[in-house]
Structure 1
């Protein structure tokens, strides 16, 4: 809510007319005290809301950190290397025949990249 200077002047004149110039300092003090109390209440509510919503988030963050730590320690190549060292006769290509590599220039069915 934004007030222009003219609106603030009109409100000030109305307050002076209604309450008189001698009560104006007391009204300003009371108004300032009320605004401070409202700000404090809003801050208290904000911190309570953050506390309540922070608990599930912090639990999730802790679980994510646990998974990250477990992932750092896990290396699938270690298991592969251990298996390979334990049985050196077992290789990946031992059960299959070597693949024949045909160059694209020698392949009759190779059409090359298609431009559209």
Structure 2
């Protein structure tokens, strides 16, 4: 909203005529205080909006850090190494089925 010099002068004359020259300083002080309160309220709203928009972003960042920490500890090769480096006694414990011992064994099936 832009006011020209003529419009501002007209508003000033109207204020002086309506309220009188002796109340003009008090009106200016009240107007200034109102503008300061409005600016403070606008800043509070901006701060609150920034907090609200920043909060989900920070939560996402924390979740990403948790996933990264979990990924550091995850090593699928460790399980494979355990299986490859099994003790010989553990290998003997694995049941082996031989065709001669299994009564239901019918051999390879062709299709």
Any residues of structure 2 matched to 1:1-12 within 5 Å, and which? 1-12=1-12
Unaligned runs of 5+ in 2: 78-111
Find the aligned partners of 2:27 and 2:11 in 1 and give their Cα distance.
13
Decide which structure has the larger Cα Rg and report it: 2
**Residue in 1 aligned with 2:28?**
28
Q: How many residues end up aligned between the 2 structures?
A: 81
Per-residue CA shift, 1:28-53, capped at 9, x if unaligned?
00000011011111111111111112
Tell me the residue number matched to 1:41: 41
Where does the alignment leave 5 or more consecutive residues of structure 1 unmatched?
74-78, 80-116
Deviations 1:7-39 (A, max 9, x none): 111100100111111110000000000110111
Q: Distance in 2 between matches of 1:46 and 1:20?
A: 38
Please give the TM-score of this superposition, normalised by the length of structure 1.
0.54
TM-score (norm 2): 0.56
